[in-house]
Structure 1
Amino acid sequence: MESTHWRSESNEPAPTKVSPVDDRLTADTALRRVRRGESLLYTGDFHNAKQLVGAMARRLPPPASARSPLDAFRAERRARQLEHETLSRILVALDRDYRLALKRAPDVAEACRQVWGEPEAEQTLVSLKTLTGMLSAAEWRRKGLDVPGLTGKLHPHYGVYLPTRTDYVELLLSVTDVKGKQVFDVGTGTGVLSFLLLQRGAAAATATDCDSRAVACARENAERLGLARRFQVLETDLFPPGKADFVVSNPPWIPEPPKNRVDRAVFDEDNRFLLGFLDGLAAHLHPGGQGLLVLSDLAVLLGLRAPDWLEAQFAQRGLAVKWKRSAPARHGKAKDKSDPLHAARSKEITSLYALVPVA
């Protein structure tokens, strides 16, 4: 075994200056030290460590005031990046069995094995912020999530997009002519869209995702739901080989660079995924087949896309909209007036486009 293994969801290099700290450390002192480039290895009480991180977060500056939705979005991303860079410098050490030797620490070993596999070192260093996120995800995975229209619970994995926004799921339920059809699900995540269509009579679904965690998550959920015989998932970018009657995708909806692995479910730099989907769609449809694209208009509301940009991309690729159904956003941030992006999010619309090649 290696002596120490550093874990980061953002591919950040291992810290070079690590100093042990304990419960005597104040949030103000911690902020001064991490701003000087130190990483602080917490050795005291687990709950005190979490309180320290929370107190540090409250001392960070809020997003700068903005005159436009785009300015607000940029300011919010800068603020979140500063928060990540600051709070991720509070570290904890796990032993060779992923045990956390802090007072009042929970058992974190199962959550760590779910994400990382078996230990590869005598000691694993990770930010407390990342570890608490993993613990929260492990609880979601254990309890499962109810999804509108799905019979049985969905059990999401850490790092895979959590379908707590139900507008896009409910839109897909309006598709009624799925019995006996072949389905491709491009960028499947948990597999939820495939499962909804399979439970409503689709003959088979082949899903893809470029992330190994999503592939494992979708495969496990298919087994739990009794759909494994009609479902397969491949770790690949965009389309599987062959053609289908329905090719469905709920791609990342913000055309900006992701800052970490989890971000890739939301951020699609230069529209690479979306345009790749549109480029290859016609070639992967059976005659009479349809592409089912679910997409939020938040990028338009933020000023990251022109209002007519998407329709122009359809036309350039010889695709026509056979029908379109839309729903207003009902997630929590759409109603939170304290959210810096509330002006845009309160107007957000998610649409389901049925796309067909132009004859």
Structure 2
Amino acid sequence: MKSEQLPFKFSRASTPGMEGSFYSVYFGMGLSFNLIDEPGVFKVSRAGLAFGSLLIRYLNKECIGSRFLDLGTGSGVHSFLLKGMGVKSVTATDICKEAVFVARRNELCNFGVNTIEFASGDLFQGLSGGSEKYDVVLFNAPGWRTPSASFLKALKKSVGGEGLPIDSMFYGDRTLERFFEELPGHLSDGGKVIVGLNSLVGIRQVMNRLQELHAEKYVIDCRLLERHDFPLLFYTEEWARIRNLLVDEVMNWTRKGEAYCSMQEGGKIIWSYEIVEITLWKR
């Protein structure tokens, strides 16, 4: 797998009491974390770094006593950032059991103790307190929108079963719809969601779906906190080989108004990463 070129330096180091390779992530205000470089767990991306940097500016003293839920925690880095800033109650979950295992090790490596409540499950599944509600939910949502039937047919012909699983890049709109459906059952009244959205997921459509699902029972306030432009990357040799097929698909979404990206000179594709705050109040 090709490493994404990130705006921070990776460093390989041997950490006392821990085996394997590590890389370092720095968010600002002295908050830096060493993370295990595990092939089965995604490294912190440019979007993940932007999400964390936003959290540093977003959090204030009033947030310290709030109950936070970090969905899709991955390496656990955003939960570590919360703990590093003094948040007392942090729960983190991921669909990947291996990621949760590594996140627990990462917490021990960085803090010396385990105080974050980790769980494994799809979205809200696996949380120990099924009826517990959180004041702030963090969700760096996955990927691109659902691909066309013609793309899936061409993809199967081109790569077969090789390469990065298609679910790891596509179907983000379906994931977000399920997230929005289940959200009110896990969010306190007046609670907030901070969600990172890829413009290739079809942001307008998924936000309209949120209104369709809950506007009758909830007052929903949405505001854009930050927006970043990032280049489209092809993470594996298999995906790089079908670059033209992928580019045609995402540009077709843009032409139809189903997503957004732009093509620069030289064929570089730029997408928009948008961090949105959503607040729900019961009517």
Q: Which residue of 2 aligns with 1:52?
A: none
Residue 329 (1) aligns with residue 229 (2): yes
**8 A contact 1:252–1:265 mirrored in 2:** no
Shift of 1:308: 2.4
Q: Which residue of 2 aligns with 1:117?
A: none
RMSD of Structure 2 on Structure 1 (CA) = 3.4
**8 A contact 1:145–1:153 mirrored in 2:** yes
Structure 1 unmatched ranges of 5 or more: 1-128, 131-138, 300-304
Residue 198 (1) aligns with residue 77 (2): no
Q: Which residue of 2 aligns with 1:285?
A: 187
SS of aligned partner of 1:161: coil
Q: Which residue of 2 aligns with 1:343?
A: 263
Q: Which residue of 2 aligns with 1:354?
A: 277
Structure 2 unmatched ranges of 5 or more: 3-11, 14-19, 153-160, 235-239, 248-261
- Greater Rg by CA: 1
- Give the counterpart of 1:245 among 132, 135, 155: 135
**8 A contact 2:71–2:138 mirrored in 1:** yes
Q: Which residue of 2 aligns with 1:189?
A: 74
TM-superposition CA deviations, 1:174-223 (whole Å, max 9, x none): 32232122111111111112111221121121111111111111111111
Describe the shift of the 1:254–1:332 C-alpha distance in structure 2 as closer, same or farther (beyond 3 A). closer
**8 A contact 2:196–2:275 mirrored in 1:** yes
**8 A contact 1:255–1:271 mirrored in 2:** yes
Describe the shift of the 1:323–1:308 C-alpha distance in structure 2 as closer, same or farther (beyond 3 A). closer
- Give the counterpart of 1:313 among 202, 206, 209: 209
Residue 191 of structure 1 aligns to which amino acid in structure 2? Answer: G
Q: Which residue of 2 aligns with 1:231?
A: 116
Shift of 1:232: 1.7
Residue 213 (1) aligns with residue 115 (2): no
TM-superposition CA deviations, 1:282-336 (whole Å, max 9, x none): 211123311111112133xxxxx3x6202211211226234321222346859xx
CA distance, structure 2, for counterparts of residue 331 and residue 270 of structure 1: 18
**8 A contact 1:172–1:352 mirrored in 2:** no
**8 A contact 2:142–2:172 mirrored in 1:** no
Residue 167 (1) aligns with residue 67 (2): no
State the percentage of identical aligned residues: 22
- Report which stretch shifted further, 316-325 or 347-356: 316-325
Q: Say which structure is richer in strand.
A: 2
TM-superposition CA deviations, 1:218-261 (whole Å, max 9, x none): 11111112174430211111112321111111121213479679
CA distance, structure 2, for counterparts of residue 287 and residue 227 of structure 1: 35
Q: Which residue of 1 aligns with 2:144?
A: 254
**8 A contact 1:195–1:227 mirrored in 2:** no
Shift of 1:271: 2.9
Describe the shift of the 1:283–1:181 C-alpha distance in structure 2 as closer, same or farther (beyond 3 A). same
Relative to the length of structure 2, the TM-score reads 0.64
- Give the counterpart of 2:24 among 145, 148, 159: 145
Relative to the length of structure 1, the TM-score reads 0.52
CA distance, structure 2, for counterparts of residue 224 and residue 147 of structure 1: 15
TM-superposition CA deviations, 1:139-185 (whole Å, max 9, x none): 69613232324433222421212113123332333322321221111
CA distance, structure 1, for counterparts of residue 133 and residue 102 of structure 2: 24
CA distance, structure 1, for counterparts of residue 72 and residue 231 of structure 2: 22
Describe the shift of the 1:278–1:164 C-alpha distance in structure 2 as closer, same or farther (beyond 3 A). same
Residue 228 of structure 2 aligns to which amino acid in structure 1? Answer: P
TM-superposition CA deviations, 1:74-98 (whole Å, max 9, x none): xxxxxxxxxxxxxxxxxxxxxxxxx
CA distance, structure 1, for counterparts of residue 163 and residue 182 of structure 2: 25
CA distance, structure 1, for counterparts of residue 80 and residue 211 of structure 2: 31
**8 A contact 1:247–1:292 mirrored in 2:** yes
Describe the shift of the 1:274–1:162 C-alpha distance in structure 2 as closer, same or farther (beyond 3 A). same
SS of aligned partner of 1:222: helix
**8 A contact 1:155–1:221 mirrored in 2:** yes
CA distance, structure 2, for counterparts of residue 346 and residue 142 of structure 1: 32
- Higher relative contact order at CA 8 Å, sep ≥6: structure 1 or structure 2? 2
